[in-house]
Amino acid sequence: MKLTVRAITADQHRSWIQSRSSVSFLQLPEWGKVKVGWKSESLGWFLGSELVGAGLVLYRPVPKIPSRSLAYLPEGPDIDWLTTAHPNIPLNDWLAPMLDHCRGRGAFQVKMGPPVATRRWQADSIKNAMAQWREDVAVPPAHLHDVIADWHSVEAQHLSVQLNSRGWIQETSSGAGFGDVQPRYVFQIDLADRTLDQIFAGFNQLWRRNIRKAEKAGVIVTQGTRADLADFHRIYVETASRDRFTPRALSYFERMWDELNGALEGRLTLHLAHYQGHVAAATLMVRVGTHAWYSYGASTTADRDVRPSNALQWDMITMAHASGCSLYDLRGIADTLNPEDHLFGLVQFKVGTGGFAQEYLGEWDYILRNVWAKGYGLYQARRG
């Protein structure tokens, strides 16, 4: 029986997601309404009448020519990538009907991010690599990918070869995911079958000390409401200036709140760290099934010494653990081990949780209409 792909309703898509242990929050049907400037569509993969896969497609129209667009499936689609559930269906039978569907919608290029892990490095392995920069080592590892992984997936490597042989082009960016391109490297903490005491004990000494320091200094963490997003955003803008990235507007986070919590109350939570009567730091967390993501964070420079960011992370981990999540995801890290790199501090901060760095297959592009794709690429390059 041949696989077919067609549009499904948001309710059908939600039912599929509820049947899964988790999918990326970027694949929720509600996410399409968060992204202004994009049109969205839920797709379903069918074997006969049986739904066997689903994905959210975001279409970005060409300015002034809405009939042509870039099609993007961030961290998706949710299909049987490694053909474990459907071993008799080759990869191309999953992807070809999706490409045909997107071509029929006027897409000139399809970008997707298969949610398939390729390699994993435990915190100790990363710390040992970082230590080489302080030791008498002639050529210390400059990047995470230079370090021998603690785990790797042969199946994922084979999938990469298959995609490449079928005309898919791998996105070369490996940044920490501050823009629309999603991070290839993330940092995660395993919560499954562990008590909070065990998770806390897995933090390095500095992390444990900073959590206790925040508590002793009088930092109080509370959950915020939609109205408190303005406090978050004020600090977020300060953080963006300090860390050199372009901030999103307050309206973006208000849409996130309205859409994600409108579909399921409590899916997006706001956590506020108060110190001496004001908000010193704030974070956003998203939960889908057994997976929780640290989505956005912000902190003031003035209150850094009382460690509100550590207190917030511990609060989110505690909530994720209490809600039955098996994985806490700190999201993107850069592929750098160089202390001179401005993103090194982010890597160092997350490694202190004692979790693991995970590499995903990355984002891949398929060109459907070459002239349009080249033209759009030139347009994007001019925009910077």
Indicate whether 202 and 57 sit together in one domain: no
pTM of the model: 0.95
Do 313 and 375 fall into the same domain? no
Nearest residue to 97 (alpha-carbon basis) of 29, 105, 373, 23: 105
Output the pLDDT for position 179: 44
> Domain check: are 107 and 130 in the same one?
no
The answer to whether the bond into 77 is cis (omega within 30° of 0) is yes
Query: Mean pLDDT of successive 10-residue segments in the chain (384 residues)?
Result: 96 98 98 96 97 98 93 98 93 97 98 98 97 88 96 97 97 54 94 98 98 98 98 97 92 98 97 97 98 97 96 98 98 94 92 97 96 87 72
For the chain, what is the domain count? 2
Together in a domain, 368 and 338: no
Quick one: pLDDT at residue 173? 61
**What's the CATH number where 37 sits?**
3.40.630.30
Sign of CA dihedral 239, 243, 244, 247: negative
- Mapped onto helix, strand or coil, the DSSP state of residue 121 is strand
- 51 and 197 in one domain? no
In the prediction, which pLDDT does 136 show? 77
Q: What is the pLDDT of residue 178?
A: 40
Answer yes or no: do 197 and 309 share one domain.
yes
295 and 181 housed in the same domain: yes
Domain encompassing residue 63:
3-113+363-383
Report the Cα 3 to chain-centroid distance in Å. 28
Do 69 and 147 have their domain in common?
Answer: no
For residues 127 and 86, membership in a common domain is answered with no
Give pairs for 166-172: CB < 8 Å, separation 24+: 166/91, 166/92, 166/95, 167/366, 167/367, 168/364, 168/365, 168/366, 169/364, 169/365, 169/366, 169/367, 170/362, 170/363, 170/364, 170/365, 171/111, 171/362, 171/363, 171/364, 171/365
Q: 299 near 240, Cβ under 8 Å? A: no
The dihedral through the CA atoms of 228, 229, 231, 235 has a sign that is positive
User: Do 184 and 313 lie in a common domain?
Assistant: yes
Whether 85 and 225 share a structural domain: no
Q: Domain check: are 171 and 281 in the same one?
A: yes
Name the strand (E) or helix (H) holding 186.
strand 185-190
